Amino acid sequence: MKKLFLPLTLLLLTIFSCSKNPGININLITELSETDPNNPNPFNGIMDPISSIPYPEISSNSYTIELERWDIQNNRSNPEKTTDNIQAAIDWAVNEGYGIIKLPKGHYLIGKYGNDIYQAGIELPSNTAFLLDKEAIIEMAPNNKWNYCAIAVRNKSHVVVSGGTILGDRDNHIYTPRNSDGSTVHDEGHLICIEGESKFVTVENLTLAKANGDGILLVGSSEEIQKLTDIIIKRSNFSDNRRQGISLVGSANVIIEKNEIHHTKGTSPQFGIDLEGAGRINENIIIKDNYFHNNKGGDIVNTDGKNVLIERNILTQGEENQYIDGPLVYWKNADMTIKNNDITMRTVSVNNWNGIIMYSNDNPKTNPATTFIENNILNNCGMYMYKGADLVIKNNLMNHGHLAFKEMTNLTLENNEVSHDNTCWAYRFLQVSGNATGNTLNEEFFDIPLSNTPWDGCWIN
């Protein structure tokens, strides 16, 4: 078994048995994209699991899975048997009163038949800390299923997953057409799934890479009060996932912090983090101190999240990457505070040079909450909001950037600094009402006569 190191990651994988699915090649060489040494909290390689368990409900009794006793291969072979036997070891340990369950170093190939469109992995029970050795790799075996969860937490509480590496099968996935419609999108292959009414779950110190879908997927309850709650995703390296780094499809009281989320690319939307409830509630979300780069769709998108805080993140477009949507995107009925972030664009997106953009439509804004955008630095980009309302933008610095608004009401602009060589490009207004004070262009006062009456300023399409 070869070890996994980051940066300059090269993972050599060799399989000793054959898959039950003919035509699936399970000999491969996969390379993970490098982490960025410019990250203020750089990743220097694979990580040990956490040493302090955050939930007292988890027993301090510790059990290290005995590979020989449970007949578990750690040489990347026999995925069905490996899945069944790791699961049996976990279930036995929990029944015996162990709370901390450790997986020794090795390369564990998992995955077995769940149903016609789902490949099953390992399921964790409540009151369990599943700790991977620094040199442990859990890899989802190549398959042709639309969905998979390498590790699943379903309607459980007080669960920890930490340490080592979890890999998906995107390099060897087989895109068999779906019977219902012939589609081959296959975008629901995830590394960690947290679902239903799960609560008090921590994911920390992991490398999560090569998912055919998302590194982590949260899918909550559909009730008026969200029951998937109190989730922490911390200090993990999300690399080369195909659809998203993290998707929040219904969740509450979530903290996402100090992660590096990068090189998300393959199938839409291709964002680092996507808040998209699809009829479920996303609320009380904190996204802070993360480092984003080279995410094809963009870094953060919030379609419907309420009371979301996006703070002290670095969103840096990679040299070789061009955003599709842009670094930070939100829809007008989402509400949040965006503050103290550093956003850089090196190449233009389909939305022009907009580091923060609000998407809209002709329907009225129904969420009365105000969004606050404060104390951010935008490099070589600016902001554009249209057909919306209830927005406060103050104390932001746009280096060669702009502020542009169209058909906006109740807009407050205060003490923003814009530098740009084209005055009309720097500040643009079309049918905008609100108030403005203390804004500058190239370090000189710039008058913006906003009032309760919609006003047209300079405008360039």
The tens digit of pLDDT for each residue in 140-177 reads 999 999 999 999 999 999 999 999 999 999 999 999 99
Average pLDDT value for residue range 393-400: 98
Q: Residue 355's pLDDT is what?
A: 97
Q: Residue 16's pLDDT is what?
A: 29
pTM, full prediction: 0.94
Residue 2: pLDDT band with limits 50, 70, 90: very low
Q: Residue 322's pLDDT is what?
A: 80
pLDDT(5) > 80: no
Q: Residue 380's pLDDT is what?
A: 96
Average pLDDT value for residue range 257-263: 98
Q: Residue 321's pLDDT is what?
A: 74
Residue 244 CA to residue 261 CA, distance in Å, equals 9
Residue 18 CA to residue 248 CA, distance in Å, equals 36
> Could you tell me whether strands 251-257 and 229-234 are parallel, antiparallel, or unpaired per DSSP bridges?
parallel
> Could you tell me whether strands 417-419 and 147-154 are parallel, antiparallel, or unpaired per DSSP bridges?
unpaired
Residue 176 CA to residue 460 CA, distance in Å, equals 47
Q: Residue 460's pLDDT is what?
A: 83
Q: Residue 461's pLDDT is what?
A: 76
pLDDT(74) > 60: yes
Give backbone dihedrals phi and psi of 369, rounded to 5 degrees, phi first: -65, 155
Q: Residue 179's pLDDT is what?
A: 87
Q: How many other C-beta atoms lie within 10 A of the C-beta of residue 389?
A: 20
Contact between residue 121 and residue 110 where contact means Cβ atoms under 8 Å apart:
yes
Residue 31: pLDDT band with limits 50, 70, 90: confident
What's the mean pLDDT when you consider all of the chain?
Answer: 93
Average pLDDT value for residue range 167-195: 95
Q: Which of 372, 370, 265, 277 is nearest to 322 (CA)?
A: 265
Q: Which segment of 5-14, 135-144, 392-401 scores lowest on mean pLDDT? A: 5-14
Q: Residue 444's pLDDT is what?
A: 97
Question: How far is CA 377 from each of CA 31, 52, 202, 292, 327, rounded to the nearest angstrom?
Answer: 33, 36, 31, 15, 13
Average pLDDT value for residue range 386-395: 98
Q: Residue 180's pLDDT is what?
A: 87
Question: Which letter, b or e, does each residue of 128-145 get, where b requires 16 or more Cβ atoms within 10 Å of its Cβ?
Answer: bbbbbbbbbbbbbbbbbb
